[in-house]
Amino acid sequence: MRVLFAGTPETALPCLHALLDSEHEVVGVLTRPDARRGRGRARQPSPVAALARKAGLGVRTPTTLRDPGVGEWVRSLDLGVAVVVAYGRLVPPTLLEVPDHGWLNLHFSLLPSWRGAAPVQRAVLAGEEVTGVSVFRLEEGLDSGPVYARLPEPVGPQDTSGDLLGRLAATGAPLVLDVLRCLAEGTARAQPQDGSRATLAPALTAEEGRIRWAEEASTVARQVRGVTPAPGAYTTFQGRRLLLGSVVPVPPDTVLQPGQLRVSKHEVLVGTGSCAVRLGRVAPAGRSWMDAEDWARGARPPQGSFLGTEPRAEDEAVS
């Protein structure tokens, strides 16, 4: 089939690679406009745009698909199907029926669970043990279209959202090809979603990366994994931001107040609402990632120091 691909970040690349290596013909690519990235803040193409141009494909980067010129271009492609992976733009109703088989979306959850922009992060934050990928046909509702195929994926106890998203992107690509094969053969059957079981996955805010040390250690560890790599986990030390790469709960015989630091030669512990956690990699404001012990040697936090917020007066006698 003649395929239009719409995607933007690195997580869309496995599917685009799979399509380019398949019997289908990718006849055009939609992606987000160039954005400022890196330390120099120079404008750079999206990962999808870079791969598509290297492959010699026609690339369009509209700010909206409602532009009449975009609609004319899409209609001129004589499409069998459009495939969407993390594109980041809404497809207007006027274009949904243009391809013969519509617009297929590879979504990183087992729909109807976690409809929205951050399904992987929300699954990790919620403590889900299993998530997966779904291939469904776009309609006007939010990720509400009928589903052609699903494939589950376990969530590992140490998985960050980035780890999990990478695996889902890789396993989802062949699933898209399976659906396209069934569409071409006339054997594909899409099943309506049960909207009563839907959960929402709105984009994460930066504030959701702020660690709440009063939570239990398992919740703190899950929060760090859920917001890694974006928007990123952080706390504060002496009023300055400290990024956190990982935390690991330690045996419950170490009792510290929420946010209280205990520094030794070989580890940095922080109190939570239950047991303490051990800090892994950290990054002080404006500096590179380093082991927490190296940070502590340079920062020299006084005994009784806290991350995040200072203790309440009535708690100061507890240690």
- Per-residue pLDDT tens, the chain, 319 aa: give them: 999 999 999 999 999 999 999 999 999 999 999 887 766 678 899 999 999 999 999 999 999 999 999 999 999 999 999 999 999 999 999 999 999 999 999 999 999 999 999 999 999 999 999 999 999 999 999 999 999 999 999 999 999 999 999 999 999 999 999 999 999 999 999 999 999 999 999 999 999 999 999 999 999 999 999 999 999 999 999 999 999 999 999 988 878 999 999 999 899 999 999 999 999 999 998 899 999 999 999 999 998 899 997 554 444 444 3
pLDDT at position 315, please?
43
pLDDT at position 319, please?
36
Side chain identity, residue 56: G
CB 114 within 8 A of CB 136: no
Side chain identity, residue 222: R
d(CA 215, CA 224): 12
pLDDT at position 209, please?
97
Where does residue 50 rank: exposed (0-12), middle (13-18), buried (19+ CB within 10 A)? middle
Task: Please report, in angstroms and rounded to a whole number, the separation of the first and last CA atoms in the chain.
Answer: 67
CB 96 within 8 A of CB 90: no
Please provide residue 207's backbone torsions phi and psi, each rounded to the nearest 5 degrees: -65, -25
∠ CA 54-55-60 to the nearest 5 degrees?
80
Residue 148: both structure tokens together: 């052609």
pLDDT at position 43, please?
87
Cα distances (Å, whole numbers) of residue 116 to 73, 215, 278, 300: 28, 26, 33, 43
Q: What is the DSSP string of 194-263?
A: -GGG--B-PPPPGGGGB--TTS-HHHHHHHHHHTTTTT-EEEEETTEEEEE--EEE--TT----TTBEEE
CB 107 within 8 A of CB 136: yes
pLDDT at position 316, please?
43
CB 204 within 8 A of CB 227: yes
- pTM of the full predicted structure? 0.92
Helix then strand then coil, in percent of the chain rounded to 5, is 30, 25, 45
Tokens 């889900």 appear where?
128
CB 158 within 8 A of CB 200: no
